[in-house]
């Protein structure tokens, strides 16, 4: 037998989950990008680091590559 308190109740309020759920996707606030940095793994040595450069080589491997070039 159910108590009177639980009868007719639905799940938790959606306003605490997503206050913008009723808006269409194009009107919802977009998440801000924190920075231009991205996390990459150097293919040369496996070092995982953050960079904003186009290449994925770390500074050490990039220097070695430049020194080896004729």
Torsion of CA 36, 40, 42, 43, to 10 degrees: -120
Band of the pLDDT at 7, cuts 50, 70, 90? Answer: low
Q: Which pLDDT tens digit goes with each residue over 19-67?
A: 788 888 888 888 877 788 999 999 999 999 999 998 889 989 988 777 7
Cβ-based neighbour number of residue 6 at 10 Å = 7
Note the pTM of the prediction, 2 decimals.
0.47
Which residue(s) pair with 48 in the sheet?
A: 41
Domain ranges of the chain: 36-68
Tokens of 41: 């793994």
């Amino acid at each position: 037998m159910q108590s009177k308190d639980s009868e007719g109740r639905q799940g938790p309020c959606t306003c605490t989950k997503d206050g913008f759920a009723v808006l269409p996707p194009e009107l919802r606030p977009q998440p801000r990008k924190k920075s231009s940095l991205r996390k990459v793994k150097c293919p040369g040595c496996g070092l995982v680091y953050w960079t904003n450069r186009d290449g994925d080589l770390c500074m050490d491997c990039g220097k070695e590559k430049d020194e080896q070039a004729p």
